Amino acid sequence: MCTVVLRLTLLLINSLVGLSALIVSSFGAILTWGRDTITRELDDVIGPMIKKMYGEEVAQDFTDMASGILQLTSPFGFLLFILGLVSLAICLFGFCGACCKSILCLRVYIGLLLVLVIIETTAMSFYYTDRESIFKLARKIAHNSLRNYRSIGSNNTDSIIYSVIMPTLNCCGLMNGSDFDDSPNFQRKVLFNEQNFDLKYPIPCCKMDAKFVVLDPTCPGEFNIKNSNIHEGCWVKLRQIIGFYGGMIVICGLVVILFQMNRKNNLKNNASLKNVIEDGYTVKDAAFLVNLNYQTATNVDK
């Protein structure tokens, strides 16, 4: 009975985890190779809705922003695709081992789980012992992206990202607005709201509402502490966001490690599964043999 329950538990767990891995892998594939399809669907389905509610300019900005985000998340999508495939392969070994009573598949399954635990533990240890390296890398990426900023109306991915981040977080540049003083690609002469401006800072440094509409009409003609965020850098807020979600990922990783260790221990400690697979005995057969041996020994003593 114990063996049957263990096998059914393995089948159920690996079926659920395998299905989740397949979904994650499919999502990663869509992010990596389905950008054109998603953009087209956004234009056809969501675009007209936003255009009707907020106007054509906002709808076009939304489409450009979505396209830029998809381009940025493409490497992460490929990572999800690979992780999903690896998890699915591990689940298949566990599924086949429990379903076909294959000791080889179960041994491979346990070995792969152990490798995953080691990788996850190493990654978690690195995150907590050397978090500053991660923050330095993130800041370097953000700085390089900032130097590629052009204008609020540009289809450039870096421009779209900062045009969304700065009004959302109420900030300007990484440290402050002076980061744009030596930005090589920053387009200072622009046409905005049917007016020509020679900008000192990007338009997204102006204070905006949730619809990305400038709140004070004096900006971007003049930037000051009341109508803009030029004295507030984005890096402090980005660091907090990275730290928060990094901690959440670590907690989820810890839960996964504990879950994997529990599965591995159940497989290693339950020797009856191996006996059933190799010898073909059930628990009832084993109990009968023990009782028969006891009766035989008793008769011999008599």
CA–CA distance from 143 to each of 135, 149, 187, 275 (Å)? 12, 10, 17, 60
What pLDDT sits at residue 234?
A: 92
Q: Is the peptide bond before 217 cis (omega within 30 degrees of 0)?
A: no
How does pLDDT run across 102-115, given as a tens digit for each residue? 788 888 888 888 88
Residue 173 has pLDDT above 80, yes or no: yes
How confident is the model at residue 287, as a pLDDT? 47
Q: To which H or E segment does residue 282 belong? A: none
**The model scores a pTM over 0.75:** no
CB within 8 Å of 204: residues ≥ 6 apart:
152, 162, 163, 164, 166, 167, 172, 212
* Nearest Cα to Cα of residue 74 among 43, 29, 137: 29
Look at the block and give the residue holding tokens 């106007």. 55
Here the tokens at position 256 are 């996964």
pLDDT grade for 45, boundaries at 50, 70 and 90:
low
Model pLDDT for residues 261-294, shown as the tens digit of each residue? 666 566 555 544 444 444 444 444 444 434 544 4
